Structure 1
Amino acid sequence: MTDTVTARLITDDSDALRTAHALVPRLAAEADQRDAERRLPWPELAEIRASGLLGITVPASRGGAEVAAATVAEVMRLVGTVDLSVAQILQPHFAFLYSLRRNGSPTLQEKVFTDVLNGALVGNAQAERTGKHSHDQRTTLERTGADRYRITGVKYYATGSLFAQWLAVTALLPVSGHADPQPHAVFVPADTPGVEVVDDWDGMGQRTTGSGTVRLTGVDVSAAWVVPHYRSFTHPFPYGPFAQLGHAAIDIGLARGALERAAEFVRTRSRPYVESGSDTATGDPLVVQQFGELELQVRAAEALLERAAAAVDAADAHPTAATVAEASLAVAAAKAAGGRAAVTVANALFEVAGTRSAADPLNLHRYWRDARTHTLHDPIRWKIQHLGRFALTGQRPPRHGQI
């Protein structure tokens, strides 16, 4: 990799959490301006890379801290409190490293894990637009020799790809014993000839995630870098719950961050409503009531996130059909509650803070835009469906490659 940094080595879960806590104020410092100007977070990602946080899930056998899923979720929640876009860049990084840990060849693991410990970021190149849905894969993976493949295709919504040193590119390959081709993930250095990353993401929210287009034209890769990603969801293994846990953590972090910004604004800038009879906005009993309701919703989502993380860690330690299903259900609950909390609090921020909070230069609407955009990724209604079917009939949720 040509893009290198000097990253410190994080040693354990406590070290990872201390590091994340120390980074949050610096990530918060210009978050409003970054979003308003669509200023890509290159300096902030350089800090994250140097901090060692990208390497916290690397197995101990490969020199990493191998932290718990609960720690990964808390790191992403903390970052999400101040900048959902930066937190979202981390999600596919940790998700595909999780698949690599289980399914990758020793050669690939050694290379990628070493680079990650040195500050490399793994970006996502998965979704497509030409099929029935975003994960209907049309990218081709053609064998060109005993140990070589050629990749051709176009990927969209490729979160983090603009900043990445490695790209995890998904494609289908025939597999013996399976009627249909199965998903594989190909780890491709971002500077490989034939790879083009286009900065064309134009979403109303998550403006700085680098979620643009990745074009792959006859990209030559080693067979050792092709990972049988399908094994993560054809056998009991909590890949899906782990990946979804990150999304839930991001939403719940945003909900907490938006609530804190609302409270700060009401304390320092809002005026009481004329009919409240109060001298201050903080003394308005209806404002106090609404803050109480919002705090309740955020605390409930945070508690569900902790329970979900514990379930993912339990399934990771003892992966069975039952433990993986429980992890999926626990994460579904956290994701549904977290998504609702994020959108609700980001919207209510303006109700409790009043007219002054709508001033465009403040950019407080970034919380709502980010929440509304991110929660479109994987609809809450399907999480509720899985929970309802299990409660009613005991039907377990599906295992699939949605991240």
Structure 2
Amino acid sequence: MTDTVTAHVVSDDDEAVRIARDLVPRLAVGADRRDAERELPWEQVAQIRASGLLGITVPRSHGGAGAAAATVAEALRLVGTVDLSLAQILQPHFAFLDSLRRSGGEEVRNRVFADVLAGALVGNAQAERTGRNSHEQRTRLEPAGDGRYRITGVKYYATGSLFAQWLAVTAKVEVPGFGEPQPYVVFVPRDAPGVEVVDDWDGMGQRTTGSGTVRLTGVEVPAERVVPHYLTFTGPTTYGAFAQLGHASIDVGLARGALERAAEFVRTRSRAWFESGSDTASEDPLVIQQFGELELQVRAAEALVQRAAAAVDAANADPTDDTTAEASIAVAAAKAAGGRAAVAVSNALFEVAGTRSAADGLNLHRYWRDARTHTLHDPVRWKIQHIGRYSLNGRRPPRHGQI
């Protein structure tokens, strides 16, 4: 299940952040080339698996570090500074482990958590294209007898599925007492009979996330691996806030990485504009002014992510309607600001760096392509709506995985 990787087991939050920070320079090597040539990051994923980073949220009761939301956010931010695709592979892994922790039975938790501590990656098999909206699903989950279920369907944008050892597959099933079908998460081994993962992702950005198509044809799983995900939302929960915090952290990481890359380019390769009176581009007062404005935007987004992570951790410690609503709103603010910063900075990179930065061989446009693609994941306009309703009318945001 975990291939040949031998994973380190992380002991606490401080070690988790140190490991993420130590990984960054290694993951940065070749990132431009990997994106330009769509070279899938098998070696880099193996490094992450071996580092123990995948297991940091496994509960202490199961041998993990039980890391805080703030720790996960910082780890994703750090990885996002050098390669958004690698950071995005990790986001659904942590989100679905959170679902497993909340709603999974002891048998499936023991199995999956043990595999994750040994280096297994959980991939995402959630999105479909056939419904009227993104939450409608036609994947069928049906009893197969002898305490087993059979799952059939097609999933798209299945982030990390090519590299995964486990797939978290979603399906909706009629549940007595509920007016409409409710979501389940089924933990399926990547190599199970009837599972086909197709490397057909062709997005302009996030080129190396392994976000292809997953086809499931009569895949049989034992009942204990069918997790009633809907139970997560029957009471106050931070599930959605935690999942979205990961996305916000990735955006903010990219914004910081793009700004650092722009600064390096201006200092070492850009030429001063002749009207500036400066000998170097880095002393051009208008360039300095623009860097100052961009730095303000990135720092504000970073601060909002830190505040959001603290709100999620506070709500986890005391999950009430009020604390979880505040966590969701804090994360919505971080997501909106982080996405805007990522797009703005990755676009401004070319303005401050000048004509030379547009050379296709440099592949500096990967930051903008990644930011523009990733921020489409869920619309900022709905984040703003929830924030506005909460601020003006005290209306708590809904309980689902996108807030």
Q: What TM-score, normalized to structure 1? A: 0.99
Structure 2 Cα separation of the partners of residues 214 and 320 of structure 1: 37
Quote the RMSD (CA, aligned, Å). Answer: 0.8
The residue identity in structure 2 corresponding to 1:207 is R
Separation in 2, partners of 1:311, 1:66: 17
1:181 maps onto 2:177 in alignment? no
Find the counterpart in structure 1 of residue 224 from structure 2: 224
Deviates more, 1:84-93 or 1:227-236: 227-236
Aligned to 1:335: 335
Partner Cα separation in structure 2 for residue 45 and residue 139 of structure 1: 29
Aligned-partner SS, 1:16: helix
Q: 1:4–1:118: 8 Å Cα contact kept in structure 2?
A: no
Question: Which residue number in structure 2 is paired with residue 39 of structure 1?
Answer: 39
Greater CA deviation, 230-239 or 343-352?
A: 230-239
How far 1:220 sits from its partner (Å)? 0.3
- Report if the CA contact (8 A) 1:252-1:302 is conserved: yes
Deviations 1:232-251 (A, max 9, x none): 22321100000000000000
Query: Are 2:70 and 1:82 equivalent residues in the alignment?
Result: no
Superposed displacement of residue 156, structure 1: 0.3
User: Partner of 1:281 in structure 2?
Assistant: 281
The answer as to whether partners of 2:80 and 2:250 remain within 8 angstroms in 1 is yes
| Higher mean C-alpha deviation, range 117-126 or range 176-185 | 176-185
Q: Which residue of 1 aligns with 2:293?
A: 293
CA distance in structure 2 between the partners assigned to 1:223 and 1:86 by the alignment: 32
User: Conserved in 2, the CA contact under 8 Å of 1:168 and 1:187?
Assistant: yes
Aligned residue in 1 for 2:245? 245
Aligned to 2:20: 20
Q: % of aligned pairs identical?
A: 78
Partner of 2:267: 267
Equivalent-residue separation in structure 1 for 2:327 and 2:377 (angstroms): 20
Letter in 1 for 2:136: D
What letter matches 2:361 in structure 1?
Answer: P
Instruction: Give the CA deviation at 1:180.
Output: 1.3
Whether 2:141 is the aligned partner of 1:124: answer no
C-alpha separation in 2, matches of 1:134 and 1:32: 32
Question: In structure 1, how many angstroms separate the alpha carbons of the residues matched to 2:197 and 2:218?
Answer: 15
1:386 corresponds to: 386
Give secondary structure in 1 for the equivalent of 2:229.
coil
Q: Deviation per CA, 1:313-368: give whole Å up to 9, x if none.
A: 01111111111100000000000000000000000000000000000000000000
Deviation at 1:59, TM superposition (A): 0.2
Runs of 5+ consecutive residues of structure 1 not aligned to the other structure: none
CA–CA separation in structure 1 for the residues paired with 2:318 and 2:150: 37
- In the alignment, structure 2 segments of 5+ residues that lack a partner are none
- What do the CA deviations read for 1:283-316 (whole angstroms, capped 9, x no partner)? 1110000000000000000000000000000111
Q: Give the match for residue 318 of structure 1.
A: 318
Aligned counterparts of 1:269 and 1:172: Cα–Cα separation in 2: 54
Deviations 1:237-293 (A, max 9, x none): 100000000000000000000000000000000000011111110111100000000
Partner of 1:230, secondary structure, is helix
The AA in structure 2 aligned to 1:167 is L
Q: Is the 8 A contact 1:230 1:401 kept in 2?
A: no
Paired amino acid for 2:62: R
Q: Which amino acid aligns with 2:355?
A: T
1:363-398 C-alpha deviation (Å, 9 max, x unpaired): 000000000000000111111111111111111111
Query: How far did 1:145 drift?
Result: 1.5
Report the Cα distance in structure 2 between the residues aligned to 1:127 and 1:134, rounded to whole angstroms.
Answer: 7
Q: CA deviation at 1:134?
A: 2.0
Task: Point out 4+ residue stretches in structure 1 off by more than 2 angstroms.
Answer: none
| CA deviations over 1:81-108 (Å, ceiling 9, x no partner) | 0000000000000000001001001000
TM-score (ref. length: structure 2): 0.99
2:171 and 2:183 in contact (8 A); partners too: yes
